[in-house]
Chain A
Amino acid sequence: MNATVTDKAVSDVQHGPLLTKADITKSWLIYYMGAEVSNSYERLQSLIFCASMTPVLKKLYPNKEEQAEALKRHLNFFNTEGVMGGIIQGVAIAMEEQKTRGEPITDSSIIGIKTGLMGALAGVGDSIIWAALMPLLIALFIPFAAKGSAMGGIAPLVLYTGITIGISYALCHKGYKLGRESIVTLLQGGKIKELIYGANVLGLIMMGALAASYVKLSTPLKFSFLQGSEVVVQQVLDSIVPGLLPLAAVFAIYLYMLKKGPRYTVILLSVVAFSLVCSITGIL
């Protein structure tokens, strides 16, 4: 214990003050708050990344010229998923700190690590945080909302915000501590893939369950035969497999998107036209 304290004191004297945990938390908070606020087509999240680094850079580079260089370095193109992106921030802070302590770290290696990690982490983050966790939490509480309870909106808001803040805070500090090598190992390891796989399985099961409850499609068609016996089409369909029409609707739209890409507007207009035609002709 004493040894580490003196070590730190010695290194402070030799290399200037170290960053404290609070400095990193401050950086993390700025990034979390503003990741999308200033997002632009030109350089996406570069502005907020630079802004989030300001508390750290001000401390590390008292020399104005160096500070200006560092700020410009972090205005380079940057974009990733904001929760997982916390790791990159931690790594970047650690590298800037090492640089001021005389380690051979070039400007381009800092930029290189950021751009190298941002794509991979955006992929991981988009598939876990946005494509799995978010719809899952909403799905879980939609039945409350459908019954008219405010819980259906409050619960997902609180849970999603809480969980993701916890993750990104932890990742940012972890990234700072572990440095870049370990991040690469983490990304290549099986754990993250496993996590995404599991989340996707659960997500799809939930979506299926919700689709069964909330996609509503039935036909009023009836055919009367000469003998007076009547065939109600919906009853026939239900006796084969219930929910055939809703399931068909989901997959029709899915297959269209698979072929033509996510053309939401075309799909929406088609659904409108389809509904009008079916309403007028009495098919549905």
Chain B
Amino acid sequence: MSTLMLATLMGLYYWFARLRLGYTFSGMLVQPIVIAVFVGLITGDMQTAMIVGAGIQLVYLGVTSTPGGNVPSDPALAACIALPIAVKTGMDANLAIALAIPFGVIGVFVDQLRRTINAAWVHMADKHAETCNTAGIMRCAFLWPALMGFVIRFPVVFAANYFGQSVVEQFLAFMPRWLTHSFEIMGGILPALGFAITIMVIGKKTLIPYFVAGFFAVLYLKVDIMAVAIFGTCIAFLIRSFGKNEEA
């Protein structure tokens, strides 16, 4: 697939996923692990896309949305740019994570811009309400935000994918060893951020021992994730009566 085509498709995906059509459906579409499936399909390298996608996902595991719908970091922008470039240039997963991070930050500003502009449609809807123009209200709720979203979302991802690959390739060729190694370290640490955020979002300090238990279950007992899920569910049910007595 040509770079032009790839950049266009990624731009469209980002626009559509961030349109947030379908509340929880789109909530998942913006996750790196789902974006990886799309990147895998259009690049034909599902294996690499999923592995790198899993890496980027871990950084953003707890980053869903905070009360009030503010996006603390935009995993979708990060993944829509870093994933295709990583797959195309054969970049190491750790390096791809490092590449993704700055875009995640930029994504926050794009979203702030969107929600600021969206205020215009509410005012328009106020006028439509006066005249009972329900079709107009529907357009304000769906059509105008979608069109405006395209204008501010598509170009970012398109440009980054279109011009990014060659820039990144040149950069990779010249990278000194100490710099690549620092990216490896970064790739190893950053998933910790995702877990820390999740603990933070759950927000109950008294429950932290469960985190530690899960951590060492894997290291000492060598169980896999599915086994942890099964035993974890049992534990969650068993402590239910216990939990009732506590401030939950």
Contact = CB atoms under 8 A, between A and B. Distances in A.
Interface in B103-118: 105, 115-118
A277 to B, nearest CB: 8
B196 A253 contact: yes
A266 B117 CA distance: 27
Interface string B199-239: 11111100110111111111110011110110111011101
Interface string A146-159: 11111011101100
A169 to B, nearest CB: 12
Given A152-B54, A203-B202, A196 B67 contact: no
B202 A271 contact: no
A168 B138 CA distance: 21
B166 interface: no
A249 interface: yes
B130 A68 contact: yes
Contact of B225 (A51, A140, A153, A203): A140
> Shortest 9 CB-CB distances between A and B: which pairs?
A208-B214, A40-B118, A279-B182, A148-B47, A36-B20, A216-B188, A51-B141, A212-B218, A153-B37
Interface residues of A, number: 116
Interface of A: 30, 32-44, 46-48, 50-51, 54, 57-58, 64, 67-68, 71-72, 75, 79, 82-83, 122-123, 126-127, 129-132, 134-136, 138-150, 152-154, 156-157, 160-161, 164-165, 168, 190, 193-194, 196-217, 242-243, 246-247, 249-254, 257-258, 262, 264-265, 267-268, 271-272, 274-276, 278-280, 284
A153 B33 contact: yes
Contacts of B19: 37
Given A47-B122, A50-B125, A254-B200, A145 B225 contact: no
A157 B202 contact: no
Contact of A215 (B191, B228, B232): B191
Given A32-B23, A37-B142, A205-B232, A44 B69 contact: yes
B178 to A, nearest CB: 5
Contacts of B54: 142, 145-146, 152
